[in-house]
């Protein structure tokens, strides 16, 4: 059997708008990679793009534009960062606020680089699921970053209609710039990951750096540590590496790239390539009895040889709908219906009601009316899965939303970032992600 392709995604968070030497670092990296025949993804901060323009760095802009251009927020670390303002908001108002704050940055990237960014990734760990709805509206289909809030099997996945490269675990490979003696170990880690991916038919290895890291020894945005928000005139430049030290860093990157290139199965891809290599966000429906049995037992995605389906897609299929891209519910419903069965006519009315609300809103409801009482969406889905479609009384089943296991419960640790206010935690954002997990499923290589 042919070995599956190993797609290496090399990406650079291009964000330091304080230290001008970081502009030269971005230029050097983009040029070196081009010479090596490798295309990378540069996720550019809106303010960084504007600063490159105002400093007259057309050379940097041109060199980066030879690669793929993504988006890394409008201001990165200027307070309030995304998780901070999204934490107190719901799904719809949060998405609108994210779009209001972030659209100007996307517009500037478009104007300065001449392309719509291929992807987005949050500053630091300042992630919030409401960004998905806004990003799709802004024409950005890929979420490329690293974080621990949500993940599936250390490989790309679909959530909220966005193709994610996130929480990559063993498939996240990062050479240390501070110690080239660790390179052999990193190469070994790369080879192990590549072998495992080849054996399972292919997959993605994610590697990232920041151009600023190649010229500084501490992060530029420590200006904003622990929630600080100094005026521009008070911003301090980060400490610099010596020229020789920077050169050593560039060599480490080159050696890593050369190592990856020696592997026959390895191919460098960008965020713009990714959607073409993976399946579409809406899967093909499968045998109804298989979906019904699965949904009766557990509400989570299903993977078979025919592809992957999210719980949301299966729910639509079981309702007799053609599955479409929908959002998860905006709130957690709770069952108030206490009887153990539902009469056939009442259940059929509930099904029609849910079908109507999904069609009208392109979103799953939090709960389902049975007369004046309600079933939570998970309880309804389990009941629907177990229903034979004929008996006069439909037995109510308890839901089992297993999909939520893929979302972290660590509201503090997953949002740990020196720029967030001390002790910051955002369990509310993880709860929103659990609700959106109705749309979660692994992405499958075409």
Six token digits for residue 238:
């980060």
**Site residues (CB under 5 A) for Zn ion, limited to 219-278:** none
16 binds Zn ion (CB under 5 A): no
Which of 8, 9, 13, 323 lies at the binding interface for Zn ion (CB under 5 A)? 13
Nearer to Zn ion, 14 or 130 (CB): 14
**Site residues (CB under 5 A) for Zn ion, limited to 285-304:** none
Provide, rounded to whole angstroms, the least separation between the CB of residue 239 and Zn ion: 18
Nearer to Zn ion, 123 or 128 (CB): 123
**Residue 65 burial by CB count (10 A; 0-12/13-18/19+): exposed, middle or buried?**
middle
- How far from 303 is each of 34, 120, 207, 300, 306, CA to CA, in Å? 38, 27, 27, 10, 8
146 binds Zn ion (CB under 5 A): no
Provide, rounded to whole angstroms, the least separation between the CB of residue 114 and Zn ion: 23
**Site residues (CB under 5 A) for Zn ion, limited to 357-376:** none
Contacts of 402 by beta carbon, 8 Å cutoff, 6+ apart: 298, 299, 300
Question: CA Rg, the chain, in Å?
Answer: 24
Provide, rounded to whole angstroms, the least separation between the CB of residue 123 and Zn ion: 5
Nearer to Zn ion, 13 or 154 (CB): 13
Provide, rounded to whole angstroms, the least separation between the CB of residue 15 and Zn ion: 5
Shortest-Cβ-distance residue relative to Zn ion: 13
Nearer to Zn ion, 81 or 286 (CB): 81
Cβ(198)–Cβ(9) under 8 Å?
no
The secondary structure element, H or E, covering residue 373 is strand 373-376
15 binds Zn ion (CB under 5 A): yes
Provide, rounded to whole angstroms, the least separation between the CB of residue 145 and Zn ion: 9
Q: How far apart are CA 396 and CA 380, in angstroms?
A: 8
Provide, rounded to whole angstroms, the least separation between the CB of residue 209 and Zn ion: 11
Q: Within a 10 A sphere around the Cβ of 284, how many other Cβ atoms?
A: 13
For the residues of 82-124, what is the DSSP string, one character each?
Answer: HHHHHTT--HHHHHHHHHHHHHHHHHHHHHHHSS--SEE--ST
Piece of 6-14, 228-236, 249-257, 416-424 that binds Zn ion (CB under 5 A): 6-14
Provide, rounded to whole angstroms, the least separation between the CB of residue 125 and Zn ion: 10
Nearer to Zn ion, 132 or 219 (CB): 219
Provide, rounded to whole angstroms, the least separation between the CB of residue 68 and Zn ion: 17
- Closest Cα to residue 128, out of 155, 156, 88? 88
Q: How far apart are CA 45 and CA 47, in angstroms?
A: 6
- Closest Cα to residue 227, out of 126, 127, 121? 126
Nearer to Zn ion, 253 or 368 (CB): 253
Q: How far apart are CA 33 and CA 413, in angstroms?
A: 35
Nearer to Zn ion, 15 or 19 (CB): 15
Continuous H helices in 138-278 = 183-199, 243-261, 274-277
**Site residues (CB under 5 A) for Zn ion, limited to 123-142:** 123
**Site residues (CB under 5 A) for Zn ion, limited to 84-123:** 123
Cβ(158)–Cβ(164) under 8 Å?
yes
**Site residues (CB under 5 A) for Zn ion, limited to 170-199:** none
Nearer to Zn ion, 11 or 301 (CB): 11
Number of residues counted as binding Zn ion (CB under 5 A): 3
The secondary structure element, H or E, covering residue 299 is none
Piece of 9-17, 47-55, 287-295, 432-440 that binds Zn ion (CB under 5 A): 9-17
Provide, rounded to whole angstroms, the least separation between the CB of residue 371 and Zn ion: 51
Six token digits for residue 420:
């967030």
Q: Please report, as ranges, the residues that interact with Zn ion according to CB under 5 A.
A: 13, 15, 123
């Amino acid at each position: 059997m042919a070995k599956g392709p190993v797609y290496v995604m090399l990406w650079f968070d291009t964000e330091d708008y304080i230290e001008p030497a970081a502009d030269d670092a971005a230029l050097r990296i983009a040029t070196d990679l081009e010479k090596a025949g490798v295309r990378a993804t540069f996720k550019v901060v809106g303010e960084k793009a504007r600063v490159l323009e105002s400093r007259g760095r057309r050379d940097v802009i041109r060199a980066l534009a030879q690669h793929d251009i993504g988006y890394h927020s409008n201001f990165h670390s200027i307070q309030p960062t995304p998780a901070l303002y999204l934490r107190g908001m719901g799904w719809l108002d949060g998405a609108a606020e994210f779009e209001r704050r972030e659209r100007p940055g996307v517009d500037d990237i478009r104007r300065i680089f001449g392309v719509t960014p291929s992807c987005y990734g949050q500053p630091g760990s300042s992630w919030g699921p409401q960004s998905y709805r806004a990003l799709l509206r802004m024409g950005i289909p890929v979420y490329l970053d690293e974080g621990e809030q949500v993940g599936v099997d250390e490989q790309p996945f679909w959530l909220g209609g966005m193709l994610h490269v996130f929480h990559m675990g063993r498939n996240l490979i990062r050479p240390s710039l501070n110690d080239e003696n660790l390179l052999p170990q990193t190469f070994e880690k790369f080879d192990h990951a590549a072998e495992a991916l080849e054996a399972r038919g292919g997959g993605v290895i994610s590697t990232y750096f920041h151009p600023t890291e190649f010229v500084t020894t501490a992060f530029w945005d420590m200006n904003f540590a622990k929630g600080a928000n100094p005026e521009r005139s008070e911003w301090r430049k980060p400490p610099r590496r010596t020229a020789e030290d920077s050169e050593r860093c560039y060599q480490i990157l080159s050696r890593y790239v050369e190592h990856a290139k020696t592997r026959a199965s390895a191919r460098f891809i960008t965020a713009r390539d990714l959607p073409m290599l993976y399946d579409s966000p809406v899967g093909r429906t499968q045998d109804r009895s298989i979906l019904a049995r699965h949904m009766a037992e557990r509400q989570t995605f299903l993977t078979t040889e025919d592809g992957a389906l999210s719980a949301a897609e299966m729910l639509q299929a079981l309702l007799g709908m053609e599955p479409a891209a929908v959002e998860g519910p905006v709130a957690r419903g709770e069952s108030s219906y206490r009887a153990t069965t539902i009469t056939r006519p009442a259940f059929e009315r509930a099904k029609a009601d849910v079908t109507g609300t999904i069609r009208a809103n392109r979103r799953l409801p939090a709960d389902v009316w049975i007369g004046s009482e309600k079933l939570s969406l998970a309880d309804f889905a389990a009941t629907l899965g177990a229903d034979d479609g004929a008996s006069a009384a439909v037995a109510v089943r308890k839901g089992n939303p297993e999909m939520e296991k893929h979302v972290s419960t660590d509201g503090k640790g997953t949002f740990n970032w020196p720029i967030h206010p001390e002790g910051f935690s955002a369990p509310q954002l993880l709860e929103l992600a659990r609700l959106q997990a109705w749309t979660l499923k692994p992405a499958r290589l075409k």
